[in-house]
Amino acid sequence: MRIITTHKYYILLLIIFLIALLLRVYKLADIPVGMHGDEASIGYNAYSLFKTARDQDGNFLPLAFDQFGNFRAAGYQYVDIPFVALLGLNSLAVRLPAALFGSLTVVVFYFFLTDFFKNKKTALIGAFLFATLPWHVNISRASSEGVISSFFVLLGIYLIYKAVMEKTISFALFLLSFFSLLLSFFFYHAAGPFVLTFLPFLFLFGFLRPSKTSLIMSIIMYFGLALGLILFLTAGSGIGRISQVNIFSIPGGTNEVKQAMDEDGVQNPLITRFYHNKLYHFDRLFITFSSLHLSGDFLFVNNGNPIRYKMPWTGNLYLIVAPFLIFGFAILLSEGIKEKKYLFLIPIAWLFTGVIPAALTFEDLPNVVRANLMIPALVMIAAFGVSESLRIFKGRVRTIFIIISALILSQNISSFLHNYFHHLRIHEPWHRSAAEAELIFTVDDYLKKNKKVIMTTESNNNFIFYLFYNKFDPAEFQRRGSPKEKENLVFDNIKYTYHPCPLEGDPRKSTSAKEGFIYVNKPDCKLPKNAEILHEIHTPDGSQAFYILKLREVDEATLYRESQIQ
């Protein structure tokens, strides 16, 4: 009977995993529509590694990649190599690693909850919520390195939890946990602040049977991870991205402090420093940024930033989760303190430390990727809230409660699926560079006819898209010096400019035509009288994204006559 029951739970887990996989791979190549520049950069660097063992800049097997002037952890590019090798350089190959790791995270989460709550029903509830969670589905479908990083974070925490809770301390589990957590830094640097902040709470609340061995192993592991993070941040300029977006680099970050000090006038400087100082100022910013990620608006109404991760009319969590999250939080906190069930404080510590990577930055807040380590804690707490609610309600009341909750959850899920898989195809697709593929292929046709192109690349990273969609030979690219996108860059007869209107002029006047030149403009440019539109490139919603133009030949007399127009 026990074997049958166990098999039943595994079958249900398999079904939940398949649901998670389906939600993350269904029409993955096409939804989200288009690709953003980071995805193209990841894919092209993986392609370059596959072909040359070097990134697009010619660096041999780097630990960080220069991605548009900032340096990011290199893990995703390496994991993407076999997918690019098998599927080619395309959106599916770039997105599939995150989708698969996102699906596998659900399985690890189930086993962690089973060990943590000692209740497989609670674990199944948590796994199902995780599998269908809008937040996690969203970032799992968009080449997010944070998804793969959080998989290894969760796996590492699960392994160390098992190591701590085993009757005899397991050196093997400690070692596996160490490498899993260390690997998470290789995928996403933001994992580091969370891991190094959360582990002391895990050690504190988890060591119910403290021993000299466990203490020594924990200390060694902690400092080993700290050194590992330093290595990843310093090797290959890995700290570059962090230096750009950290809270201490916020533009005009100390202006408020200076203003307050100036307003104190001739007051004693020591008193002024006591009231107005950088420590207090940045503490306020940190608390402010933290609160953005714990707000009801971010969690249940609008799903946050960056803009390319926007889901129309959808929160990160389902609305039905809100009461269970509040109830579960209250019970865990109450029993953790009053009943001295200190393990119950782990999800709460996890939730608040999960905010830290996002709250330490100022760009694109609230941020769904940097705050994604909140997800396991939120789902743990909500699943516990559901389980406790089911325990409290009895008989017919319990049946009614289940039916009503199931109906509301079904509506929430179906609404999310409708908004994501229907509306997202045409909802503000310009945020994901949805017209770039057609633009690059159309321009390429003109290049084959020996035309010269002057192309706007304003806010679009059109150069990396040119390399990506044309599958430009990485060895040849490196031979040419691995040029960076910049103002007036010339590459393969294309001149790139950050100006939205490479071709512009007075609509009443003609201008001299340059033989063989083609122009790529953004919409709303004032065009000279002899401009001819060759193509209009649209985003999937029908909005104009680019115009491809040329200038008609005009005789000198016409040019002179029109030049006299005031």
Boundaries of every domain in the chain: 2-245+277-425, 435-563
Nearest to 75 by CA among 102, 49, 114, 110: 49
Q: Which residue type sits at 26?
A: Y
Residue 354 CA: distances (Å) to CA of 347, 349, 350? 10, 8, 6
Residue 360 CA: distances (Å) to CA of 38, 198, 335, 499, 539? 22, 15, 31, 33, 35
Tokens linked to 333: 């906190």
Nearest to 349 by CA among 324, 369, 373: 373
> Residue 465 phi/psi, 5° resolution?
-70, -35
What is the spatial distance between Cα 174 and Cα 108, in angstroms, rounded to a whole number? 17
Burial class (CB in 10 A: 0-12, 13-18, 19+), 75: buried
Nearest to 350 by CA among 307, 379, 323, 321: 379
- Tell me 301's DSSP state: I
Provide DSSP, 32-67.
S-S--HHHHHHHHHHHHHHHHSB-TT--BS-SEEEE
Tokens linked to 245: 């977006």
- 157 and 375 in contact (C-beta within 8 Å)? no
Paired with 551 in beta bridges are 531
- 454 and 502 in contact (C-beta within 8 Å)? yes
What is the spatial distance between Cα 177 and Cα 108, in angstroms, rounded to a whole number? 13
Q: Kind of pairing, strands 452-456 and 517-521? A: parallel
What is the spatial distance between Cα 104 and Cα 107, in angstroms, rounded to a whole number? 5
pLDDT tens string for the chain (566 positions)? 455 566 899 999 999 999 999 999 999 999 999 999 899 999 999 999 999 999 999 999 998 887 666 778 889 999 999 999 999 999 999 999 999 999 999 999 999 999 999 999 999 999 999 999 999 999 999 999 999 999 999 999 999 988 877 766 678 888 999 999 999 999 998 899 999 999 998 888 766 555 677 778 888 899 999 998 888 877 755 565 666 778 887 877 677 777 777 777 777 777 778 777 788 888 888 999 999 999 999 999 998 999 999 999 999 999 999 999 999 999 999 999 998 888 899 999 999 999 999 999 988 899 999 999 999 999 999 999 999 999 999 889 999 999 999 999 999 999 999 999 999 989 988 888 999 999 999 999 999 999 999 999 987 788 999 999 999 999 999 999 999 989 999 999 999 999 999 999 988 888 888 888 999 999 989 999 889 999 999 999 999 999 999 998 887 777 667 677 76
| Helix (H) or strand (E) run with residue 538 in it | strand 531-538
In the numeric block, the tokens 């990485």 are attached to 474
CB environment 410-436: b (16+ within 10 A), e (fewer): eebbeebbebbeeebbebbbbbbbbbb
Nearest to 382 by CA among 428, 329, 345: 329
